[in-house]
Structure 1
Amino acid sequence: MEINRIKNVTSKVISNIWAKLEQVSFDFTFKNGKTERLTHEVYGRNDGVAILLYNPSTKKVILSKQFRIPMYVAGVKGGFSIEVCGGAIDKNESPETTVIRETKEEVGYNVNELQKVTTLFLSPGLMKEQVHLFVAKYNDDDKVENGGGLEAESEEITVLETDFKDALYMIKTEEIIDARTILLLQYAQINQLLD
């Protein structure tokens, strides 16, 4: 069994400012029978959610634009990312409750009928965070607030209502480079949600 190949796991917290960075050491037995002591870093906090809102009547989707410090440090797009709505799951909160809350906070829409797409790891070599992906229909009547994020969380989010075809083109031109957003837009395309 694969689990028996990992033994003597130890963990040391390196940082716990925004999320926890751990140094994890373990004995790993390779298929050839050799055992080696390995050390990796694992980063993350709570699991997250992301949702693509789509309007079958107008053929539009709701996206957002916000500043992301890792992109800034990497020298990409001045740090600004075009993304689907998303956020972290709070303690004792379900993914569904979280995605409904985040949708209202970030883009100002109430959503009711969620469709679960999948749960995945975005970077399993480093991140322990799993992201629950959803899609949901919206219309103008579902707009209840301006959105823009929470001031208490130092969020400044620009809400973008975009033609679905334009959003797909933004993947091609690399205006959209967020993996969750690309996955959900391509899911919508493959499943013909806006045809």
Structure 2
Amino acid sequence: MPNHPGLDVPDARGRTGLDQVGRDLAGNPDVVIRDVELLAAAWHVLRRTTYDYRRRDGSWSREQRETYDRGDGATVLLYDPHRETVLLTRQFRFPVYVNGHPDGMFLETAAGLLDGDDPAAAIRREASEELGVEVGALEPVFAVWTSPGSVTERVHCFAAAYSAESRVGAGGGLAGDGEDIEAVELPFAEALRRIDSGEIADAKTIMLVQWAALRGPFRHLTSI
């Protein structure tokens, strides 16, 4: 019998059984999983799942959905409450470049995949690698799915104060991973303006900046 990387033999990342994810779901009696197919397994995993779905009128239909599984992630809005600034990253993002962004240079909060860590440990790691910041107390803000129609990733969103003293490293990301990240410090009012202008178009960043204006550390500065 042929060997199938990611199924019965390890793929390039040492994984097997990638077609088993989701087969045992039982939390919704109106959804019955029938089959899970592995379509691609490179760095992340593309699956096609077939299931029966009981509609609101009681009838059943056979559905298929493709899901892109890249693991869960974490992000943090770093803010200086005294100077009323936020610290963001700017880096080239090919997926946005190929879909209409002018140059692909994306302004966003520091973020990364969990890669086996808990969310707090993961975002401390990413803030250090990307921005050179040693994060102190973390405030959990929310955990969100940003593209629930196809991407399984849940992003754990945090906020944390920073200062000149907590910027202890060079940042810039990991060159071995192809990262070339610029630290961008903005007055909070300027970050809000850039959301309005479309210069900040990243969903997680918009949510965290608006949280900071509505309920977070800069609510005293705004009337929104």
TM bucket (normalised to shorter chain) is over 0.9
Give the corresponding residue for 1:187. 211
**What is the Cα deviation at residue 116 of structure 1?**
0.3
Match of 2:198 in 1: 174
CA distance in 1, matches of 2:172, 2:41: 27
| CA–CA distance in structure 2, aligned partners of residues 35 and 165 of structure 1 | 51
**How far does the alpha carbon of each residue in 1:34-62 deviate from its partner, in whole angstroms, 9 at most, with x for none?**
11111111112210001000001111100
**Alpha-carbon distance between aligned partners in 2 of 1:54 and 1:2, rounded to the nearest angstrom:** 39
Q: 2:177 corresponds to which residue?
A: 153
Other-structure match for 1:163: 187
Structure 2 length-normalised TM:
0.84
How far did residue 18 of structure 1 move?
A: 2.5
Structure-2 separation of matches of 1:133 and 1:77? 27
The CA deviation at 1:158 is 0.8
On the 8 A contact 2:33/2:49 being kept in 1, the answer is no
Question: Unpaired segments of 5 or more residues in structure 1?
Answer: none
Question: Which of 68, 72, 76 matches 1:43?
Answer: 68
- Structure 1 stretches of 4+ with a deviation exceeding 3 A read none
Larger relative contact order (Cα-Cα within 8 Å, sequence gap ≥ 6): 1
* Alpha-carbon separation, structure 2, partners of 1:121 and 1:82: 20
Greater fraction helix? 1
Q: Give the alignment partner of residue 121 of structure 2, picking from 97, 108, 111.
A: 97
CA distance in 2, matches of 1:139, 1:73: 36
> Which residue does the alignment assign to 1:83?
108
Give aligned-pair identity as a percent.
Answer: 34
After superposition, where does 1:109-124 map in structure 2 within 5 Å? 109-124=133-148
> Quick one: distance in 2 between partners of 1:8 and 1:119?
26
Letter in 1 for 2:155: V
Does residue 30 in structure 1 map to residue 52 in structure 2?
no
**2:158 maps to what in 1?**
134
SS for the counterpart of 2:29 is: helix
Runs of 5+ in structure 2 lacking a partner? 1-25
Letter in structure 2 aligned against 1:175 = E
Aligned AA for 1:179? A
Q: Secondary structure at the match of 1:77?
A: coil
Name whichever of 9-18 and 45-54 sits farther off.
9-18
Aligned match of 1:4 in 22, 29, 33? 29
User: What number of residue pairs does the alignment pair up?
Assistant: 194
1:57-104 deviation digits (Å, cap 9, x = unpaired): 11110011111111111021222210000000012x110000100000
